[in-house]
Amino acid sequence: GMRYLRFTNWLSEIDRLSGPVEAIWFEEVRRHAGTDAAHVFGGLMASLTSWAELRGIPYQGVPVGTIKKHATGKGNAPKHAMIEAARARGFSPADDNEADAIAILLWAIETNGGLA
């Protein structure tokens, strides 16, 4: 429970310091390496969607393959390709997780949240 409470507190802090948050797009993982990862993802997703629902903030999960294909042209691009794609767009991601976050942001902007 504490992991999810900290996460929702972090979301509120981001909203307070940088907000208001107007929309949320997140990486929707549909396959997990193990049961523990699936449970953690489910808890984080429940926390995120509940937090957004309470505030009337629209949210959408974006499949991993969609993010990778938009960033690199290949839906199964490896981590290093995602980092290189972010660098090619002028960003300096610290790691593959940050490169994925950048890719989601660019996907949301360039496709109008998948509506384009």
Percent of the chain clearing pLDDT 70 (strictly above): 98
Q: How confident is the model at residue 72 (pLDDT cuts 50, 70, 90)?
A: very high
Q: Residues 22-62: pLDDT tens digits? A: 999 999 987 767 788 889 999 999 999 999 999 999 999 99
C-alpha 62, offset from chain centre:
8
Claim: this prediction has a pTM higher than 0.75: yes
Q: Backbone phi, then psi, for 96, in 5-degree steps?
A: -65, -30
Q: How confident is the model at residue 113 (pLDDT cuts 50, 70, 90)?
A: confident
DSSP state of 94: S
Looking at residue 114, what is its pLDDT?
A: 78
> Mean pLDDT across the chain, nearest whole number?
94
- Whole-angstrom distance, CA of residue 103 vs CA of residue 16: 24
Is 26 within 8 Å of 63 (Cβ atoms)?
A: no
Is 31 within 8 Å of 41 (Cβ atoms)?
A: no
